[in-house]
Amino acid sequence: MLNFMRSIPLNLLFTVAPLAILISACTAVDNPSLTKPSSPNKMAYPSSIDPDLNEHIYPNEAVIAEEISDVIEKSIRKQYSVGTALRDAHPKAHGCVRAEFQVKKTLSKNLAQGVFIPGKTYPAWIRFSNGSRDATQADIKADARGMAIKLLNVPGKKLLEDEDFTQDFIMINYPVFFANDPNRYMALMQDINSDSFFKKLQIPFALGSKGTLIALNLRTKISNPLQTRYWSMVPYQLGLGSNRQAVKYSARACSPIKDPIPKHPSHDFLREALRNSLQKDGACMEFLVQPRTSNTMSVEDSMTEWKETQAPFYQVATIRIPKQVFDTPDQNKFCENLSFTPWHALPEHKPLGVVNRMRKVIYDRTSRVRHEMNSAKRQAPQ
């Protein structure tokens, strides 16, 4: 995600600055242009795509993903001193909360795949966050908001080897992503991280008009992280073999009631709202799956929404967040040291599309860098 610029002239401030604040990866086919030699410690770029689900390759995407990882690594090392490194995107957490992911007792066969075993309950951790790369940004500023779910005790071989028993679902409170072209994304990262004032002015050109509009619209003000709706933005496989399909995810509060935005919000009022809600009561959210209903709904174009009118969402699980005290130094530290990635997944939930393919190597790199800088062990939560 992005987050850019601080020193732009006023007349451009209203169009470009907000983006700066925000933006801060059967019959799979092996494709040699995807693979890239990797050192033993380097995460391998996805070695195959699924043409039957309409995945296709962008020229040099594996190389570009490494270049983006390099730019982000450099940025983290420059921005943070040893022991204080945070995520490059979504560094400000509102809290990590314990939850239960209760799969519905009855599900149609096409949805009862992977972790969606009817009647099964998984313990989970959920990290709520702001999207801005600025961890010190006040919550009242319009921003993208993140919800990262980590299911625990999930049996079965995973797509990555670093966490054996987890399944992650990562979402933001907007249905589409602002970029789907690796070259554009690379140009954007170079502009954002450049010290040159003129490079920063080029950010809207890197994003294009559609990307710029999405990046502006996905910044919203919310009153409580438990009361906004989240989307995966990008697609995932559901199921294996000839029955596999492309789906997107979403999560929303069980109740439509929303608190008003406070008139005099404190700097971290979203953490306070989360704390107050869970001090009094538990919370309930629905987890939804949107199966693709037509091949015209692209798995590579994450900038175009799969309209709900044409492809409805179906509830597959209820997320119960019990009454709890989550805001303790130990739990906050634990939260910061978690690593979420779309690739912490069963093969039944394989991430699809170029944005997800690139995220495989980028998230691994940035997680390794921040853990190394903080002398923190990368480990799966028990």
Residues near ligand HEM (CB under 6 A) are: 1, 68, 72, 87-90, 127, 129, 146, 148, 170-172, 177, 185, 232-234, 339-340, 355, 358-359, 362-363, 366-367, 370
Quote the least distance from Cβ 2 to ligand HEM, whole Å.
Answer: 8
Quote the least distance from Cβ 238 to ligand HEM, whole Å.
Answer: 17
Q: Please say which residue, 114 or 211, places its beta carbon nearer to ligand HEM.
A: 211
Q: Please say which residue, 16 or 68, places its beta carbon nearer to ligand HEM.
A: 68
Quote the least distance from Cβ 195 to ligand HEM, whole Å.
Answer: 20
Residue 100 near residue 320 (C-beta atoms within 8 A):
yes
Quote the least distance from Cβ 189 to ligand HEM, whole Å.
Answer: 8
Q: Please say which residue, 65 or 107, places its beta carbon nearer to ligand HEM.
A: 65
Q: Please say which residue, 104 or 368, places its beta carbon nearer to ligand HEM.
A: 368
Quote the least distance from Cβ 256 to ligand HEM, whole Å.
Answer: 23
Show the 3-state SS of the chain: CCCCCCCCCHHHHHHHHHHHHHCCCCCCEECCCCCCCCCCCCCCCCCEECHHHCCCCCCCHHHHHHHHHHHHHHHHHHHCCCCCCCCCCCCCEEEEEEEEEEECCCCCCCCCCCCCCCCCEEEEEEEEEECCCCCCCCCCCCECEEEEEEECCCCCCCCCCCCCCCEEEEEECCCCCCCCCHHHHHHHHHHHCCCCHHHHHCHHHHHHHHHHHHHHHCCECCCCCCCCCEECCCCEEECCHHHCEEEEEEEEECCCCCCCCCCCCCCCHHHHHHHHHHHHCCEEEEEEEEECCCCCCCCCCCCCCCCCCCCCCEEEEEEEECCCCCCCHHHHHHHHCCCCCCCCCCHHHCECCHHHHHHHHHHHHHHHHHHHHCCCCCCCCC
Quote the least distance from Cβ 105 to ligand HEM, whole Å.
Answer: 28
Q: Please say which residue, 54 or 341, places its beta carbon nearer to ligand HEM.
A: 341
Q: Please say which residue, 263 or 330, places its beta carbon nearer to ligand HEM.
A: 330
Q: Please say which residue, 107 or 189, places its beta carbon nearer to ligand HEM.
A: 189
**How many other CB atoms sit within 10 Å of the CB of residue 88?**
27
Quote the least distance from Cβ 177 to ligand HEM, whole Å.
Answer: 4
Quote the least distance from Cβ 219 to ligand HEM, whole Å.
Answer: 14
Q: Please say which residue, 91 or 114, places its beta carbon nearer to ligand HEM.
A: 91
In the complex, residue closest to ligand HEM by CB: 146
